[in-house]
Amino acid sequence: MSEVVQPASLALAVSRPKTSPFDWRRAVPLLLAAPLLIYMLVFYALPVVAMLLRSVNDPTWTLSHYATLLDDVVFQKTFWITINTSVTVTLGCLILGYPVAMGLVRAKSMAPFILVVILLPFWTSVLVRSYAWMVLLGRHGLVNEALLALGMIDRPIRILNTPLATQIAMIHILLPYMILPIANALRQIDPSLIRAASGLGSTPFMTFRQVILPLSMSGVAAGTLLTFVLALGFYITPAMVGGPRDITLSMLIAQQVDQLNWAYAATLSAVLLATALAILAVARKLPGVGNAFRTSMR
């Protein structure tokens, strides 16, 4: 290692004035990033830390806020709903997203069009999209009208303000986060592997099972992780289209803040953050996934 490095560092030493105590060239990237770093520190990191601190020092240093969560029925139900919603939404995204990712990778002239359709939700605000779902899923919305017209139902059914509405809207909003990492992994599969499989006697379905699916698992892992962690923190969509009693953790936090119940809100936030970090930490330890995560984040 050191032998390999030596010539380069020697050259550097020669070209650098020996008197200079500080290598400015190395400092340049740091200097360029400094304004943003300072901004993030002052307006993001400090408030988050200050908020989280409230869970342990309000009114005095204590862990009692966490202790009460252990037999807080509201918290436990909310936590369960949040996890349940996130799992359902992630599975929904996976089932709907995988075929789309395959289509995107296989499409030739259609690919840019498909990509635009996938990315369209990215360019629209979550608020607008949630309003759109309210319109679609309402008592006299498009979905009910269509089902009525098809004769599948006799009178409008209740979709809006149910967990189903939350799931439908969240799947729509989170789909790109699932599709793009999977498409990325699929694109990296050498096409000659698929030909080889076919030439060796594998039907298209067997090729999918034994070659394409295993080789895209890195993308599946990255997409699943991303979608799940994002779903954990969803607030606007479940608040707007979900049921009044199906409260997620972030809704509960907002509610507590409204009531100026800062310590409780901070404790819930800490739990939500810890859950997301724990999932990421465990996932990174799984063989292959950590790698995939780093690749897709690049």
Partner 1 sequence: MTGMGTNGAGSGPVSGRGASVTLSNLEKTYDRANAAKAVDGVSLDIRSGEFLTMLGPSGSGKTTTLMMIAGFETPTAGDIAIDGKSVVAMPPYRRNIGMVFQNYALFPHLTVEENVGFPLKQRGVPKAERAKLVAEALELVHLPGYGARYPRQLSGGQQQRVAVARAVVFRPRLLLMDEPLGALDKQLRENLQLEMRRLHADLGITFIYVTHDQEEALTMSDRIAVMNDGKVAQVGSPEDLYDRPDNRFVAGFIGESNFLPAVVRGMEDNIVIAECEGALIRALCPGRPASGEKVTLTTRPERLRFADGVWAGTPPQNRLSVTVTEAVFAGERCRYMLQAGDGTSIVLKEPSSATIRRRAVGERAEIAWSVADTILV
Among 59, 199, 244, 287, contact with partner 1 (rule: CB under 8 A): 199
Nearer to partner 1, 139 or 195 (CB): 195
- Closest by CA position to 238, among listed 21, 86, 53: 86
Q: Which segment (62-70, 121-129, 151-159, 201-209) binds partner 1 by CB under 8 A? A: 201-209
Give the footprint of partner 1 on residues 5-64 (CB under 8 A).
none
Give the footprint of partner 1 on residues 77-136 (CB under 8 A).
none
Nearer to partner 1, 255 or 291 (CB): 291
Q: Which segment (106-114, 138-146, 168-176, 208-216) binds partner 1 by CB under 8 A? A: 208-216
CA distance 268 to 48: 13
- Closest by CA position to 250, among listed 86, 65, 73: 86
Among 34, 42, 142, 193, contact with partner 1 (rule: CB under 8 A): 193
b/e sequence 259-288, b meaning 16+ C-beta within 10 Å: eeeebbbbbbbbbbeebbeeebeebeeeee
Nearer to partner 1, 190 or 258 (CB): 190
Among 112, 158, 214, 281, contact with partner 1 (rule: CB under 8 A): 214
Note the residues at the interface with partner 1 (CB under 8 A): 190, 192-193, 195-203, 206, 210-211, 214-215
